[in-house]
Amino acid sequence: MTSESQIPDPESPVFSWPTRVYWEDTDAGGVVYHAQYLAFMERARSEWLRAHGYGQAMLQDDHGTVFAVRAMRIDFRKPARLDDALQVSVALRECRRASAVFVQEIRRDGVLLLDAEVRVAALSAGDFRPRAIPDALFAQLKSLETSAE
């Protein structure tokens, strides 16, 4: 599976990003270490944002804004293992002036391994204090809200 053949459609309400499990992602038993799922989800959210025209560096440099995880609920359902090809999905459930809630899933061959709800806060890149999401991004995010569960 190459990322070129799996480029996600940013117009779809549910964005999916492919990844593979490597040695560095696993524990001694070859099972994905629980904290590594957070990295998989972070990368997918970053790529979702990039697909909509807002890379992390551009947000920081041009808009003085960064996003930080504020809260997370995760259900670990089945383990991923070494060499598994995974799909990490992202859907925006809610966007408010200074925060957003995403729903995410990690699947292997269509089988649900993990589902999560992730709340992120918009912060000033200079002092990491809460701030409003820039107007153009806010309007775009509001248009991308979905009722994904």
Q: Is 62 a catalytic residue?
A: no
Residues 6+ apart with CB under 8 A from 142: 95
Name the active-site residue from 27, 61, 62, 135: 27
The encoded tokens of residue 19 equal 């990844």
Report the candidate in 40, 10, 5, 51 with the shortest Cα–Cα distance to residue 113.
40
DSSP string over 121-143: EEEETTT--B-PPPHHHHHHHHH
Count other Cβ atoms within 10 Å, centred on residue 22. Answer: 11
Catalytic residue numbers read 27
